[in-house]
Structure 1
């Protein structure tokens, strides 16, 4: 079993090799090194060590994805598992209906989709399409992201594609430090369900909404395609790779950053700020009130 010092040193090596903002690495190493020299991590068990190191990382570099994580289940470091957790993530999505918790038609012909995770575009396309097909003829849509914990940037782009008329909308870019490349994300040309156009879209957020869930809210808001209601989100915008340090400890390293084409920046550290601030548990009720005012009354 490696010592706490060895665990921290390996975590710092991973951060040094991949963190998306290399200019911040000397400050990170100096701060953690000072705490290490002061004995701050001596005698800590695994969970306490992860909590302490993460807190110190956040103090010097408030990046919500930069963390040391404890997992109760042992994590294999075998080459077969060296996929950044992708296989486990895909299995989780399959078990959870590709992240779609519920689809409903509410009073007033308002569609509701509750999303807990953002599936990959490749595996999630049919499920996303099925959800959008069910709300295709609604008069307004509520996309509930209040408990969305994140997922795939490709999947976020696919969800957003339904709210734009064609494949000509440049949504955002992701710059990867390791490869020094920038990938563009555009709306998708071909979708398995009708696009949702010319009708109100309301996105619900909370302090739990994170990562790819924030991506959807931020992108639709920045493009003027949705009204965001609820609470400011957690503020994690950097795609991240997990590295196994011990059987139970992983370091998560943001290796890329998102750049929105409208704002030129992202939601890292600040979250998605709602257009209509309201406690998260009241956001759906407020969205339905707003929708009822926007939907043209039907002839009696």
Structure 2
């Protein structure tokens, strides 16, 4: 699923201008299915491949890989690989060719879909409920299961209420096993309750040229501190303490799976790197590189990765590998384990787990952050 107009990666946080130079196509009266089923016009596939090659050469987060993508696309276009089929066929074929060259958890081409009424400030109509569950699971044990961090006004308000209303918890469980990614807003509501001192969490970097042309894909929030040189922009994401509550001493558990993607992985790494929480489950999806969508010609959109988020201590990011849990367990059992760690009996943990059913599978054979 392409979450349009969001920066969905480790630093994903803010809607921003498209990352390509062309103006977006005019609104279409056709449905998304009709747009994907449209047959390619003569030469259209080659033009799309050549345009995308140019953009990857100038913008992709790892320049050498961007050049290799471009060489592949131009060679395939010259050989006629992209001359036939529908626009949906072309988007899938080019995306598959890109992934065969270098796997990336976000990079993909899609057919540009009609803008929904009212714009793209919120999730697509078919997106799971943003907050699937938020409650006390047991005395002193708070629990929240978000599908993403879209930073809508309603979602920010809901997180503020949850943290405030559960500020006396002795244990708090963040269930990210179905988390698709998103923005920083929700994190910046959560972290002030859990850290007693200003604490660096993760670091994000991108090309200075891309930053100067398109602005900051992760916003200019007070929790970010920027360092700039001629080549790179680096932003450090901090936890900034708020009013002291018992949550500063609470045990924190983060549930992860290979469906935990993008900004969900940023959230998990922030806790893992600082040691403030225990991660329970399996390694996350491995979709690190942040960026955003932009038009490729009149009928296609590329999700272009332009930067990376990494562990301040090691300099390593999680692209491809994911964020490893502290306690590796079957993600289907992660909530049971967390409840036991919080002091519940196994029988009570199993009983409660049976009442909390995620809206999507908590383990996927193949995961892409779309």
Q: Same fold (TM over 0.5)?
A: yes
Matches of 1:109 and 1:266 in 2, distance apart?
Answer: 34
Q: What's the CA shift for 1:50?
A: 1.6
8 A contact 2:195–2:240 mirrored in 1: no
TM-score by length of 1: 0.82
Structure 1 residues 151, 66: closer, same or farther in 2, change over 3 A? same
CA distance in 1, matches of 2:108, 2:300: 10
- Cα offset, 1:120, TM superposition: 3.5
Higher helix share: 1
Residue number among 151, 161, 164 corresponding to 1:133 in the alignment: 164
Once the two structures are TM-superposed, the CA of residue 59 in structure 1 deviates from its matched residue by: 2.1
Query: Are the structure 2 counterparts of residues 28 and 119 from structure 1 closer, same or farther at C-alpha, using a change threshold of 3 Å?
Result: same
- Deviation per CA, 1:69-96, whole angstroms, max 9, x where unpaired? 235x3259xxxxxxxxxx61x3339998
Paired residue for 2:239?
A: 187
Measure the CA separation in 2 of the matches of 1:255 and 1:59.
19
- Are 2:122 and 1:91 aligned? yes
Q: Is the 8 A contact 1:157 1:185 kept in 2?
A: no
Aligned to 1:11: 52
Give the number of equivalent residue pairs.
280
1:160–1:219 Cα contact (<8 Å) kept: no
Q: Give deviations 1:157-204, integer Å, cap 9, x for gaps.
A: 5433432113x211122212113322221113447x947222211111
2:147 & 2:178 partners in 1: Cα distance?
5
Match of 2:321 in 1: 270
Aligned mate of 2:145, from 114, 123, 126: 114
- 1:200-221: CA deviations, max 9, x gaps? 1111111211100111111101
**Whole-Å separation in 2 of the counterparts to 1:120 and 1:126:** 9
Query: What is the rounded CA distance, in whole Å, between the counterparts of 1:144 and 1:293 in structure 2?
Result: 17
Residue of structure 2 in register with 1:209 after alignment: 260
The alignment status of 1:22 with 2:63, answered yes or no, reads yes
- What secondary structure, in the 3-state scheme, does the structure 1 residue paired with 2:320 have? coil
The offset of 1:135, in angstroms, is 2.0
Equivalent position of 1:237 in the other structure: 288
Q: How does 1:137-286 map to 2 (within 5 A)?
A: 137-166=168-197, 168-177=198-207, 178-179=210-211, 180-190=232-242, 194=245, 196-246=247-297, 248-286=299-337
User: Unpaired runs of 5+ in structure 1?
Assistant: 77-86, 295-300
Alpha-carbon distance in 2 for matches of 1:143, 1:158: 13
Secondary structure at 2:343 match in 1? helix
For 2:337 and 2:161, the matched residues in 1 are separated by 26
In structure 2, do the counterparts of structure 1 residues 266 and 279 end up closer, same or farther at CA, with 3 Å as the change threshold? same
Query: In the alignment, what sits opposite 1:33?
Result: 74
Tell me the C-alpha RMSD between the 2 structures: 2.9
Q: Which residue of 2 aligns with 1:74?
A: 114
Q: Secondary structure at the match of 2:340?
A: helix
Q: Deviation of residue 30 (structure 1)? A: 1.5
Q: 1:211 to 1:240 in 2, by over 3 A?
A: same
CA distance in 2, matches of 1:139, 1:286: 16
1:279-294 correspondence to structure 2 within 5 Å? 279-292=330-343
What is the deviation of 1:106?
0.9
SS in 1 for 2:167: coil
Q: 1:106 to 1:46 in 2, by over 3 A?
A: same
1:79 alignment counterpart: none
Q: Which stretch of the first structure deviates more once superposed, 95-104 or 169-178?
A: 95-104
- TM-aligned CA deviation for residue 55 of structure 1: 1.8
Work out which structure has the larger RCO, using CA pairs closer than 8 Å and 6 or more positions apart in sequence: 2
Q: Residue 64 in 1 paired to residue 93 in 2?
A: no
Identify if the C-alpha distance between structure 1 residues 158 and 35 changes in structure 2 by more than 3 Å, giving closer, same or farther: farther
Q: Matched residues in 2 for 1:47 and 1:194: separation?
A: 52
